[in-house]
Structure 1
């Protein structure tokens, strides 16, 4: 509750009686500890209550339990901030400890009292956060901050540390979860999203919830085309897919897919050489595709990492995000670190941010990345892990790393004309350093499995 002092000033929300009831409830019945131990000391508004709570924590962790004698003795041995006193004096003395137990209406309702304490603590955090945002807007003690910075700050409202503990899973519970996961796999129900390319799916174990996959290649290898192909095939399975293309507009992406579906050469479509018959086929393909579940695109998205995170959270909350595809990592900017595109620390911040986002939203994220130019000097130009630009942090954060390689790009007389190698450099759920081969259609810049597959779009 919020109260007003004698001078009319507002006092931060708190409930002194609820705080006393929590402390007294544990003192009277140590079994209540398991229901309230997740409360941080900061949840108590009164400083003396914080001191008592920390002492209770120390005693419970030592396996001694909490009673009046043990608690008062522990506090007596702790120094206070004022010289010549101890923590017991600072907490209110022995009389105050005795009064805690006498002030508890019902010990069995300690968890309810703790809920009140926790909720009011959350309100104090909100007030503090709002005050900081106000200072950023008006420039109190600082220069007025950019709107985007303030929005990002407001998007990260602090919550009581107690809520974090709700994610803690016991070892036994983890075992049961693992057992159920294996059972689902055995029954053919994998939580992973398949790429939709049979040849690739035979080697790659898919995009698991919470995973970050990096798709790397040199320019003109077709990594964007492959990513869009995967996005469309995942969409056909009924999933909500969002593509953030930081290089091309949605219509530029769609013309490739549409040309492939209509069997119209991409070059003719883009050069204005499409015949009347070809235009009819393109129109028919567009109508056919409109009846399918296709990915969503965003034209000219905000390219900052916080903006990407905001968009993903919004879509997830709206039930419109099962798979996020970003083209590409090097074009994402980090406020304050945009002076050097090759900045290792900046790319590390982005890869860690995307991995964290995948975990928090429980979705797979696929991000494209351009490889180092140094591989062009090798005789064998097939990508390796070391070819990832500023690879250390990216290699560490990624659950899966895929590379695209087309030998015909370097060797026009190769026996693998029209064939692309998808090299699996890393995958946590399956074998690594294996390769799948796909058909690459140069006339439409799209991929297809070499194995027989039905026309999808």
Structure 2
């Protein structure tokens, strides 16, 4: 009996092209998702972003998302995990699973996180929370807190959730186990996560800070060099995003919520940027096409 691994890569590519052609044929009434056409694609759930990167992430990819402090990298990484067609795995070194689910619920229901924690919600908000909770029950990511263990802990968590096509690691700095030579250790962690993505055929989405960002320069949009670590991110990652919100620096310019997601590296396509909107009331990112 033939197995998928017995089929040559060229044969699989041609078969995928045939499926894509069939799905785009206007004479056929076929409703399929990107993942059904190409199971190697993991859509982000943000239409503009998926369009910019070729329908989504590809299994085996290491995707790195970085930005200045408080710009919202964790919120965007969680939003992608929530929008995934399949249950993702979210590994955080910054909060407990309960707090992560609180944030997910607030984002999904469009309710203030503070109001949710205090229990001060209107009847309409309570209804939205109940509806969101039902949806999240089946689609919310599996959340684990990483307290120690570095990349091997990520691998163990993935072994416990083998069906997850997307693994969100928040953040790179949380994987640091040894205080000596931190830059070298984190650079090696980036390489190890890329190897893990290839070995397990998953997408690893890694959130990180920008240790080399010069906050005195005029244009503080992230650059590839801002990730530091001797260029490890630019070398090993397949996709590198820089998150930028002008309101962090110029609050009086009438740009509240305006967000640029810069594609700083794209191994399979062009660079550029995607416009998003950040609603600070709910810590929620939205695609401008959805607004």
Range class of TM-score, shorter chain: 0.7 to 0.9
- How many residue pairs match? The answer is 272
Report if aligned partners of 1:259, 1:444 keep a CA contact under 8 Å in 2.
Answer: yes
**What is the aligned partner in structure 1 of residue 239 from structure 2?**
400
Which one of the candidate residues 138, 158, 167 is aligned to 1:324?
167
**What is the aligned partner in structure 1 of residue 31 from structure 2?**
none
Offset at 1:350? Answer: 0.6
- Change over 3 Å in CA distance of 1:452–1:276 after alignment to 2: closer
Greater Cα radius of gyration, structure 1 or 2: 1
Higher relative contact order (CA 8 A, sep 6+): 2
**What is the aligned partner in structure 2 of residue 267 from structure 1?**
114
Offset at 1:181? Answer: 4.2
Q: Tell me the secondary structure at the aligned position of residue 195 of structure 1.
A: coil
1:229 aligned onto 2:68: no
CA distances 1:183-235 after superposition (whole Å, capped 9, x unpaired): 4454552321111011222212321011110011111000000000000100x
Offset at 1:395? Answer: 1.3
Offset at 1:374? Answer: 3.2
Report if aligned partners of 2:89, 2:143 keep a CA contact under 8 Å in 1.
Answer: yes
**What is the aligned partner in structure 2 of residue 248 from structure 1?**
95
Q: What CA distance in whole angstroms lies between the structure 2 residues aligned with 1:195 and 1:445?
A: 18
Say which structure is richer in helix: 1
Q: What CA distance in whole angstroms lies between the structure 1 residues aligned with 2:20 and 2:94?
A: 37
Offset at 1:279? Answer: 6.7
- Change over 3 Å in CA distance of 1:407–1:303 after alignment to 2: farther
Q: What CA distance in whole angstroms lies between the structure 2 residues aligned with 1:437 and 1:277?
A: 33
- Change over 3 Å in CA distance of 1:183–1:431 after alignment to 2: farther
1:180 aligned onto 2:15: yes
Q: Tell me the secondary structure at the aligned position of residue 208 of structure 2.
A: strand
CA distances 1:261-300 after superposition (whole Å, capped 9, x unpaired): 3332223334x37145377346524543345422110135
Offset at 1:394? Answer: 1.9
5 Å-filtered alignment, 1:31-430, equals 173-187=8-22, 189-190=37-38, 191-205=40-54, 206-234=56-84, 237=85, 239-270=86-117, 272=118, 274-275=120-121, 277=123, 280-281=126-127, 283-316=129-162, 320-334=163-177, 338-340=178-180, 343-372=182-211, 374-430=213-269
Offset at 1:429? Answer: 2.1
Q: Tell me the secondary structure at the aligned position of residue 376 of structure 1.
A: coil
**What is the aligned partner in structure 2 of residue 445 from structure 1?**
283
Q: What CA distance in whole angstroms lies between the structure 1 residues aligned with 2:282 and 2:202?
A: 30
Q: Tell me the secondary structure at the aligned position of residue 215 of structure 2.
A: helix
Q: What CA distance in whole angstroms lies between the structure 2 residues aligned with 1:280 and 1:254?
A: 16
CA distances 1:402-457 after superposition (whole Å, capped 9, x unpaired): 1110001111122432111110111122211x11011101011111111137xxxx
The gaps in structure 1 that reach 5 residues or longer are: 1-166
Q: What CA distance in whole angstroms lies between the structure 2 residues aligned with 1:377 and 1:183?
A: 52
Q: What CA distance in whole angstroms lies between the structure 2 residues aligned with 1:413 and 1:444?
A: 21
Q: Tell me the secondary structure at the aligned position of residue 402 of structure 1.
A: strand
TM-score (norm 2): 0.84
- Change over 3 Å in CA distance of 1:350–1:371 after alignment to 2: same
CA distances 1:44-68 after superposition (whole Å, capped 9, x unpaired): xxxxxxxxxxxxxxxxxxxxxxxxx
The gaps in structure 2 that reach 5 residues or longer are: 24-36
- Change over 3 Å in CA distance of 1:400–1:187 after alignment to 2: farther
Say which structure is richer in strand: 2
Q: What CA distance in whole angstroms lies between the structure 2 residues aligned with 1:398 and 1:275?
A: 42
**What is the aligned partner in structure 2 of residue 30 from structure 1?**
none
Q: What CA distance in whole angstroms lies between the structure 2 residues aligned with 1:306 and 1:291?
A: 28
Q: Tell me the secondary structure at the aligned position of residue 228 of structure 1.
A: helix
Q: What CA distance in whole angstroms lies between the structure 2 residues aligned with 1:275 and 1:194?
A: 33
